[in-house]
Each structure stands twice: as structure tokens, then as C-alpha cells.
């Protein structure tokens, strides 16, 4: 369903349900259900039969700016480093086959020929940012990625076969940083280092982007050491997710009362119910014993005369 949102771009700001169905090869019924549910969630807006991205996306983006641990911990650090180096500083995260810039701070003395703003995506197999995130993946995940993209020229530029691909990325991982020259644009160069959670899981990466002539003025070893120190500082600041406090309940007073009214009655403790059961069983025989029994008549004893016998 969320793949519907990927169809919108600068060239496709609005789409009809029929266009969505054709682009994703959906049946009309499924397409109408998807667009209806996305509209109800605020992720799409419908006007005159045309769908466009909804305001809920901006709301979620604002919440991410306020709550994302990588942005909160790494934003000030990469901004200060970019100011000191005269570069554009990036924080980048990945999901599935996508590499997305989640934070950007520009301190380059001259405008860069490419935009690296928040929300822009990077090519999966080009740039220091993407290669660094690839290098931090597990072997199994990388193997599946290779099998899906082995015919991609950018993928084969890293390694002609699986073993060469794996070895190149392992060298980057052991080095602790990745550098690229002119891979996105001949005028640009970049360098990236990993940011991890306390448990070692990758949170993203920190990058510095330069005009290539400015980058060549630096000693790469010294620059990478400074970047790795900054990235390690951010890693130490990241709080493990299990230590975060629980969000407050959003139930209102009326809702809470209704929930309390629906709560099932509490059952008596098992021990008490068993005791009461035993007591009830004991009471019944006692009641039977208390009832008077008719006297037995002895053999040969005269019976009382009834009215008929008289």
C-alpha cells in the first residue's frame, strides 16, 4: 500500500486512481481500497478525482525531527564539524534498498553542484555514504542485495563477482571509513564514518561533502581520524531504545471510564472458592441429620386404630 506514495515526484505531483492502478499493476478494487485508506490516514489528499500527498507526511517529518535519536545526537556534532572544515555535513540512514539523508548542514564556501538536503536519496552503490552503509551490513543481507542487483553496473563497479564485492566492502569496514571522488559529480568528493547504537547495531553514518579541489587540500588520514572521532562521540550519545520511557496514555477520562465499565468482574481466589465449596458440602449432610426420622415399628406391636377401623 505504501508503494503508492513512491509514485509522487516533482514530475508527478497528482495522479488519478487509474494511473496508480496502472503504475503498480493493481486491480481497480485494490487500488480504490488503497487510496481510500491512505486518504483516511491523511497520507493522501483527494480533489476532483486527483490524488496528491497529504499533510500527515509533514506532521510525521516534524515528529521525526523532534524524536529521532540520530538527528538529536548527531545534528549538533556534524554541524560543528562541517563549520570547522568548510564542508556540507550529512547524517544518513538506510532501509531496504534505499539510502536517505535525514539531516544536512551546509558550510561549503561555494554552492555545491548537487543538493544533499534532508529527504534526498543517494544511489545505492555510489558515494562514500552508500558504500559505508553497505560495508556495515551482514554477509547474508549483502548476498541477497548482490543477487538482486548483480546486473547493475554500479554494483559491479564495487566488485565484478560476489567474492570481489564482499572483499571490497570488508576492506572499507576494517578501515573504519569510506571516501569517494567524483562518483556523484566530477566536482565533488566525500568521506563517511559509521554511527552505531550502544549495542553495535548501525544507526546510520556521518559524512562530509566537499568540492573536490577543497578536499584535496586535506590529508585524508587526518580528516578521516577527525570524522571517526566525531562519529564515535555521537554513537556514545545514542540512548538504547529499551531505556526510553513509555509514552503517556492517550485515553481520555470518558474513555477510561468506559474501559473500566467493560472490565470483567474479578474472580474469587481459588483457595477461597474451594473452601466455600467444602463448607457447603459439609452443611448439607448436617441439615439432613437434623431432620427427624420416622420411628420404626416393631414386629407384633399393635397399630394405632384409624377412623375406618373404628
> Which range (41-45, 127-131, 170-174, 287-291) has the least confidence?
287-291
Between CA 267 and CA 50 the distance in angstroms is 56
Average pLDDT of the residues in 114-135:
91
Say what the pLDDT of residue 108 is: 85
Say what the pLDDT of residue 151 is: 93
**What is the 8-class DSSP label of residue 137?**
S
Q: Which domains does the chain have, with CATH numbers?
A: 2-58 (1.10.10.10), 68-240 (3.30.450.40)
CA atoms within 13 A on the CB side of 239: 10
Specify the residue for cell string 562518483: 183
Which is it for strands 188-196 and 50-53: parallel, antiparallel or unpaired? unpaired
Contact 169, 211 (CB under 8 A): no
CA distances from 253 to 239, 258, 283 (A): 33, 9, 47
Beta strands (DSSP E) in the chain are 44-47, 50-53, 88-95, 98-106, 121-122, 178-181, 188-196, 202-211
**Residue 243: pLDDT band with limits 50, 70, 90:** low
**Residue 308: pLDDT band with limits 50, 70, 90:** very low
Torsion of CA 62, 65, 67, 72, to 10 degrees: -170
In our burial notation (b when 16+ CB lie closer than 10 A, e otherwise), range 200-222 reads: eebbbbbbbbbbeebbeebeeee
Cell of 52: 496528491
Between CA 170 and CA 167 the distance in angstroms is 5
Query: Looking at the DSSP assignment, which residues form a beta bridge with residue 103?
Result: 91
Cell of 293: 426420622
How many CB atoms are located within 10 Å of the residue 149 CB? 16
Among the listed residues 192, 204, 205, 183, the one whose alpha carbon sits nearest the alpha carbon of residue 127:
183
Average pLDDT of the residues in 207-221:
94
Say what the pLDDT of residue 310 is: 40
**Cβ-proximal residues to 74 (8 Å cutoff; 6+ apart), any chain:** 91, 103, 195, 204, 206, 234, 237
Average pLDDT of the residues in 246-268:
56
Query: Looking at the DSSP assignment, which residues form a beta bridge with residue 188?
Result: 211
Between CA 159 and CA 80 the distance in angstroms is 35
Instruction: Identify which has the larger pLDDT, 266 or 31.
Output: 31
Between CA 180 and CA 128 the distance in angstroms is 5
> Which range (37-46, 136-145, 158-167, 257-266) has the least confidence?
257-266
Between CA 160 and CA 97 the distance in angstroms is 20
* 74-119 confidence digits (pLDDT tens): 999 999 999 999 999 999 999 888 999 999 999 888 888 888 888 8
* 45-76 confidence digits (pLDDT tens): 998 889 999 999 999 989 998 889 999 999 99
Say what the pLDDT of residue 117 is: 85
Say what the pLDDT of residue 234 is: 94
Contact 207, 171 (CB under 8 A): no
Amino acid at each position: 500500500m505504501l508503494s503508492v506514495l513512491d509514485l509522487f515526484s516533482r514530475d508527478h505531483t497528482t495522479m488519478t486512481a487509474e494511473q496508480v492502478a496502472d503504475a503498480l499493476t493493481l486491480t481497480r478494487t485494490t487500488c480504490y481500497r488503497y487510496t481510500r485508506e491512505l486518504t483516511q490516514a491523511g497520507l493522501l489528499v483527494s480533489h476532483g478525482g486527483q490524488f496528491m500527498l497529504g499533510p500527515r507526511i509533514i506532521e510525521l517529518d516534524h515528529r521525526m525531527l523532534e524524536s529521532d535519536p540520530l538527528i538529536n545526537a548527531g545534528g549538533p556534532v556534524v554541524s560543528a564539524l562541517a563549520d570547522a572544515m568548510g564542508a556540507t555535513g550529512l547524517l544518513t540512514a538506510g532501509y531496504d534498498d534505499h539510502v536517505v539523508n535525514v539531516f544536512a548542514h551546509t558550510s561549503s564556501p561555494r554552492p555545491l553542484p548537487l543538493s544533499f538536503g534532508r529527504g534526498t536519496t543517494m544511489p545505492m552503490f555510489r558515494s562514500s555514504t552508500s558504500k559505508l552503509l553497505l560495508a556495515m551490513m551482514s554477509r547474508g543481507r549483502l548476498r541477497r542485495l548482490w543477487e538482486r542487483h548483480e546486473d547493475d553496473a554500479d554494483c559491479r563497479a564495487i566488485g565484478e563477482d560476489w567474492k570481489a564485492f564482499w572483499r571490497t566492502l570488508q576492506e572499507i569496514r576494517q578501515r573504519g571509513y569510506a571516501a569517494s571522488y567524483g562518483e556523484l559529480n566530477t566536482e565533488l568528493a566525500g568521506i563517511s564514518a559509521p554511527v552505531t547504537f550502544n549495542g553495535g547495531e548501525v544507526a546510520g553514518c556521518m559524512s562530509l561533502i566537499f568540492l573536490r579541489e577543497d578536499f584535496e587540500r586535506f590529508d585524508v588520514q587526518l580528516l578521516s581520524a577527525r570524522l571517526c572521532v566525531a562519529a564515535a562521540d555521537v554513537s556514545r550519545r545514542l540512548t538504547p531504545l529499551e531505556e526510553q520511557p513509555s509514552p503517556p496514555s492517550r485515553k481520555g477520562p470518558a474513555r477510561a471510564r468506559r474501559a473500566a465499565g467493560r472490565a470483567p468482574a474479578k474472580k474469587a481466589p481459588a483457595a477461597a472458592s474451594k473452601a466455600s465449596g467444602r463448607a457447603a458440602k459439609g452443611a448439607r449432610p448436617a441439615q439432613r441429620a437434623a431432620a427427624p426420622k420416622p420411628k420404626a415399628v416393631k414386629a407384633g406391636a399393635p397399630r394405632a386404630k384409624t377412623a375406618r377401623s373404628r
